A and B are shown apart, each in its own frame.
Chain A
Amino acid sequence: MRFLPLPPARPLDMPFLVLDWSLFIAQLFLGLAMACAAYRLIFGPRAQDRILGLDTFYVNAMLLLLTYGIRIASATYFEVALIIALLGFVGTAALSKFLMRGEVIE
């Protein structure tokens, strides 16, 4: 005896589930990649290893933001990623210049 009708059976949204889990695992991978880069950034034996770690770190952070932007279907994070890509290159170039010359702007 049922008084309340059952809610209509909702079909399992398989593509969305796959996409959501894939995005989650991708975020996990990118987080691990950032951890590896942070290891090189902190324990790098020499200054050039640290700069290389920083470069990898910002590229992976940019990818993480892009993945998050896909996950919540928002275009705002694309612009953040673009700015990170722009400023990260300037940082790496300036630090390399510093290693080479001992000063950034000659």
Chain B
Amino acid sequence: MIDIDLALKDLPAWAAYLTAAMVFIGALLSLIGAIGLVRLKSFYERVHAPTLGATLGTGFILVASMICFTVLRGRLSVHEILIAVFLTITTPVAMMLLVRAALYRDRVENNREVPGAGKYKKAEAAVRSQAGESETADRT
């Protein structure tokens, strides 16, 4: 796996330009996603931004790495697919877990900014009225 004789200068021109462009685009997309993470207002808007870096940014940089090492070694070198597959599977799962936890916390604290709060308020009012009735029934 360790190949000391590889040097970036040996890359032919087309591969160098392709790698340069792809790495640049990937890094730019990641930066845009991170800026969105800082600039957007609410948590539920902010969740969307960094996935730009996690999908497109990672994809571009991984493809650049694949091209670079395939051309440098002169054989197919696509082990970067491992990272791509893994990140594609895990990012949505992690984000769904996180947003579910955030939604749960916001609902417990009765925040107004929760998406779909109107529907929830009705259900909560129903639950509360039921609970209040049962409580009064217990007391009497």
Chain A residues close to B by CB (< 8 Å): 13-16, 18-23, 25-27, 29-30, 32-34, 36-37, 39-40, 46-49, 51-53, 55-56, 59-60, 62-63, 66-67, 69-76, 78-79, 81-82, 85-86, 89, 92-93, 95-97, 99-100
B27 within 8 A of A: yes
Asked if A18 and B54 make an inter-chain contact with CB atoms under 8 angstroms apart, the answer reads no
In the bound complex, what is the Cα–Cα distance between A70 and B77 (angstroms)?
13
Main SS at interface, chain B: helix
Contacts of B50 in A (CB 8 A): 37, 52, 55-56, 59
| Binary CB contact string for chain B from 56 to 96 against chain A (1 if under 8 A, 0 otherwise) | 01100110110011001000000110110011001101110
Main SS at interface, chain A: helix
Asked if A66 and B16 make an inter-chain contact with CB atoms under 8 angstroms apart, the answer reads no
Number of interface residues of B (CB under 8 A): 61
Contacts of B114 in A (CB 8 A): none
Asked if A30 and B100 make an inter-chain contact with CB atoms under 8 angstroms apart, the answer reads no
Given contacts A30-B30, A40-B37, A93-B93, contact A48 B13 (CB under 8 A): no
In the bound complex, what is the Cα–Cα distance between A74 and B65 (angstroms)?
11
Given contacts A26-B27, A27-B27, A48-B98, 4 further A-B contacts (CB under 8 A): A33-B53, A62-B83, A70-B64, A78-B80
B7 within 8 A of A: yes
Contacts of A97 in B (CB 8 A): 97, 101
